[in-house]
Amino acid sequence: MSDSDPRPAGDKIDSVNLPVPVLRPRDVAQNGESWIGRALRALFGWRPGSIRADLSDVLDAPSGETGFSPDESRMLKNILGLRERRLDDVMVPRADIIAVQQDISLGELLRTFEKAAHSRLVAYNDTLDDPIGMVHIRDLIAFMTAHAQMPAEKAAKRKKPLPANLDLKAINLATPLSSTKIVREILFVPPSMRLIDLLARMQATRIHLALVIDEYGGTDGLISIEDIVEQIVGEIADEHDEEELPGIQHQPDGSYIADARATLEEVTRTIGTDFDPGKAAEEVDTIGGYLVTVGGRVPVRGQLIPGPGQFEIEILDADPRRIKRVRIVRNDRRERLRKREPDAVLAGVAPPTLLADEPAKDHSPPRRP
């Protein structure tokens, strides 16, 4: 390169001894694609933006060919899937949210934390559609500790010192939550938001709990950063979590007991492909949602509802807001189910009611002529 080259010294690259041509940054920007990209595209059909698809193909290959363990492949695929999953796919539904009113006493708040086994609880004003934030158990303990702390000069006058100078009798458990100033901010997000976007927002704001708000401003669900992490690594259980039974359990009589939150896909996979909810599966995800859609309302405990194909579904547990537990039986097992009614009563389960399209039998005594 001659001394008269007008290019700045930083752009001068001696490529005489290099086996391949070297493009300067300015040339790459002008050409839009380096010679490497053109070569890969010409030889292998590579195109920009296909790395995600290529990585997905690699992760689908047997683990012995990729160098990834099965767990590593599963987690990497889950990470790639975060971009596609929406909050309403994984959120805790409204009916399952454990929340407290802002005027709850500290004593009741402690009891609620103990029963819920959560470190954070949503706080609201009048209803869950009017949330004010969240309460962290750590903030509650800090507040109570500060009020139980005895001044050093007062503690020195005591004949019998208190452990850690804490006088728990000084804590007024009737104090309402609203006067403690320990309610923290909570995120409000739409159900269509992607998991990866919420994860980034939680990291940026350091707020790890979000309420999913529908288009009318009502509370639709709840999601924590732990819920998102579980989408990557799988279920996280600590020493306080109770071991949960499978969502669907096969019974000795051939029927199935299912949690109403079990997905239709899980039900079909467990029972068989003849349990086909059809187009209803496009509108709802769970067996409970399917039953509400078919019946047009929340069914009552003991009610029998026609299911897909040759199946009938008995409501074992429900309240006015939602279905909790169901039994799925085939039509040819219905008589066997009826014979088990005395056992069901002893177990605390009401006998199934007749279907709406079946005439009810008159069990009243005959009238005298």
Specify the CATH number for the domain of residue 99: 3.10.580.10
Q: Phi first, then psi: give them for residue 317, nearest 5 degrees.
A: -150, 130
- The answer to whether residues 96 and 72 belong to one domain is no
Is 140 found in the same domain as 220?
A: yes
Where among 233, 259, 278 does a domain terminate? 233
Same domain, 66 and 100: no
Q: Are residues 28 and 44 in the same domain?
A: yes
Which residue, 163, 165, 219, 225, is CA-closest to 198? 225
What is the distance between the alpha carbons of residues 87 and 212, in angstroms, rounded to a whole number? Answer: 8
How many angstroms separate the CA atoms of 173 and 107, rounded?
5
Query: Do 336 and 316 lie in a common domain?
Result: yes
Q: Say whether both 160 and 295 belong to one domain.
A: no
Pairing of strands 131-136, 187-189: unpaired
Question: Which of 178, 205, 196 lies closest to 90 in space, CA to CA?
Answer: 196
Domain shared by 74 and 96, yes or no? no
Residues 144 and 36 in one domain: no
Q: Are residues 186 and 122 in the same domain?
A: yes
Strand partners, 326: 258, 315
Same domain, 99 and 229: yes
Residue 283 falls within a domain, yes or no? Answer: yes
Q: How many domains does the chain have?
A: 3
Per-residue pLDDT of the chain (369 residues; tens, 9 = 90+): 444 444 444 444 444 444 444 444 444 444 444 555 555 455 555 555 567 777 777 777 776 666 778 888 888 888 888 888 899 888 988 988 999 999 999 999 999 999 988 999 999 999 999 999 999 999 999 999 999 888 877 777 777 877 888 888 889 999 999 999 999 999 999 999 999 999 999 999 999 999 999 999 999 999 999 999 988 888 776 655 555 556 888 898 889 999 988 888 889 889 988 898 888 777 888 899 899 888 888 888 889 988 888 899 999 988 777 888 999 998 765 555 555 555 444 444 444 443 434 444 444 444 444
Query: Do 223 and 268 have their domain in common?
Result: no
Give domain status of residue 3, yes or no.
no
Asked if the structure places residue 64 within a domain, the reply is yes
Is residue 361 included in any domain, yes or no? no
The model's pTM: 0.59
Task: Tell me whether residue 11 is in a domain.
Answer: no
> Does residue 353 sit within a domain?
no
Any domain includes 1: no
Contact predicate 14/1, CB 8 Å: yes
Domain span at residue 147 reads: 89-233
19-54 confidence digits (pLDDT tens): 444 444 444 444 444 555 555 455 555 555 567 777
Query: Cα(10)–Cα(23) distance, rounded to whole angstroms?
Result: 13
pLDDT tens-digit profile of 186-244? 999 999 999 999 999 999 999 999 999 999 999 999 999 999 998 888 877 665 555 55
233, 256, 282 — which closes off a domain?
A: 233
Residue 65 lies in a domain: yes
Which of 358, 345, 265 lies closest to 304, judged by CA? 358
Q: Does 306 lie in the same domain as 211?
A: no
Owner of token pair 């009020």? 147
